[in-house]
Amino acid sequence: MEHFDFVIAGAGIVGLTTALTVLRRAPAARLAIIEKEPGPGRHASGRNSGVLHCGLYYGSDTKKAKVCATGGRIMAGFAAEHGIRLNRCGKVLVATDPAQLPAMERLLANARDGGIRATRIDNRTLLALEPAAPPEAVAAIHCPDTAVIDVKGVLAALVARLTEAGARFFFQRRVAGPGPDGAIATTAGPVAAGFLFNCAGAYADVLARAHGFAQNYALVPFKGLYWKLAPASAARIRGNIYPVPDMAMPFLGVHLTRGISGDVYVGPTAIPALGRENYGIFAGAHPKEAAIILTRLARLYLADIDHFRLLAHTELRKYAKSHFYRCARRLMPSLGIDDLVPTTKAGIRPQLVNLAQGRLEMDYILEGNARSLHVLNAISPAFTGSFAFAEMIVAASGAV
């Protein structure tokens, strides 16, 4: 049986940055990263939009606020060090209804509290930054430090750095839970480990429960579908155009992002999914898992805490291109429905549900003991804040 000082379950962005943080603190440590897929970042980490958020969405008392802006700056430095493509294109948030003004003021307050550069701008400035934005917007915010990055480049550079530092990668192998005599059980046999970091993303709750944690929590998947702009329309978008989010809803709403490839994506949705890997309509959905997820969704729907019923109705309508188009057109009035072209881009957001309270958890949650630490809600902005989040995770473990 192989022995490691540390085992990381999951080779997404949180697992990789946690591994790097451990080895920076303990360079001589024997560390293994175990991942069920053939390579790193095959799910949420490799399927996100590549936006490095500035952090104004999060109140100063949240873990997200503590890691987002700092982590984004570290990520930008990592990109510069490794020659990874990064475009600091900025972002505008556009209010199209007077009812959105209180939310806009809250975002500006978050920015002030967090030392984030965000400025309220007039329509002339808005259109100078993004000519395709609504010319009669009620108000807008400009966030100059928002950027887009080459996600795959980041993942590849982290794997290279970790390999050089002596980390061992075990792909197509899954951490299953506690093994005999204090070992960790995997699908390829037990591994002896001094400490386990559970960074298993959409499966983190399953692994945590196997270790006696996450007793009141479960992850429920939400599907992020996108459309892409046809080239003529894409040419009119310079960076990122976002709506002012409904602060009663857990998701940001449909927005437009020019990715590092140059393509402009519109989305994502946040449609309740039938499986943790249900990227297609039915692909990735399994009957037993789907039944459990639907039961949890039904309980959330009936309890209707934090407007969950409205969220479900709003998001399910976006399966229809006509409704999705109406959402996108609020941010780009010149958009025609034929300007939206299909794309295979899709992602899953594994959202943590508090089973006892019947509501979605919106901040990061860590549980653990002297043998393991479990990251239960590694949702956006986990990619942006990953380097700083990893420092938080390792510090919370007390193992290094």
Average pLDDT over residues 197-224: 96
d(CA 208, CA 220): 15
Look at residue 284 and tell me whether its pLDDT is greater than 90.
no
- Across all residues in the chain, what is the average pLDDT? 95
Q: How high is the pLDDT of residue 314? A: 85
Residue 142 φ/ψ, nearest 5 degrees: -110, 130
Q: How does DSSP assign 50-94, residue by residue?
A: -EE--STTS-TTSHHHHHHHHHHHHHHHHHHHHT--EE---EEEE
Tens digit of pLDDT for each residue in 252-271? Answer: 889 999 999 999 999 999 88
Identify whether the C-beta of residue 305 lies closer than 8 Å to the C-beta of residue 361. Answer: no
**pLDDT band of 248, cuts 50, 70, 90:** low
Task: Report helix, strand or coil for 325.
Answer: helix
d(CA 250, CA 222): 11
d(CA 197, CA 374): 6
CA angle 137, 143, 149 (to 5 degrees): 120
Choose among 12, 378, 357: nearest CA to 208.
378
Sheet of 51-52, strand order: 51-52, 147-149, 86-87
Look at residue 247 and tell me whether its pLDDT is greater than 80.
no
Percent of the chain topping pLDDT 70: 100
Identify whether the C-beta of residue 81 lies closer than 8 Å to the C-beta of residue 74. Answer: no
Q: How high is the pLDDT of residue 250? A: 72
Residue 214: left (phi > 0), alpha (psi -120 to 50), or beta? Answer: left
Among 39-53, 174-188, 297-311, the range scoring the smallest mean pLDDT is 297-311
Choose among 281, 384, 297, 282: nearest CA to 342.
281
Among 77-86, 304-313, 363-372, the range scoring the smallest mean pLDDT is 304-313
pTM over 0.85: yes
d(CA 194, CA 6): 6
Among 33-42, 87-96, 311-320, the range scoring the smallest mean pLDDT is 311-320
d(CA 375, CA 398): 14
Look at residue 58 and tell me whether its pLDDT is greater than 70.
yes
Average pLDDT over residues 92-105: 95
Helix (H) or strand (E) segment spanning residue 160 = helix 151-164
Identify whether the C-beta of residue 185 lies closer than 8 Å to the C-beta of residue 176. Answer: yes
Percent of the chain topping pLDDT 90: 88
Domain range annotation of the chain: 1-88+148-216+361-400
Look at residue 282 and tell me whether its pLDDT is greater than 80.
yes
Taken in order 176, 179, 183, 185, is the CA torsion positive or negative?
negative
Q: How high is the pLDDT of residue 251? A: 82
**pLDDT band of 1, cuts 50, 70, 90:** confident
| Pairing mode, strands 264-267 and 372-375 | unpaired
**pLDDT band of 312, cuts 50, 70, 90:** confident
Among 20-24, 200-204, 303-307, 373-377, the range scoring the smallest mean pLDDT is 303-307
Identify whether the C-beta of residue 391 lies closer than 8 Å to the C-beta of residue 337. Answer: no
Identify whether the C-beta of residue 375 lies closer than 8 Å to the C-beta of residue 204. Answer: yes
Question: Residue 87: beta bridge partners?
Answer: 148
Task: Give the domain 1-88+148-216+361-400 fold.
Answer: FAD/NAD(P)-binding domain (3.50.50)
Look at residue 377 and tell me whether its pLDDT is greater than 70.
yes
**pLDDT band of 154, cuts 50, 70, 90:** very high
Q: How high is the pLDDT of residue 39? A: 97
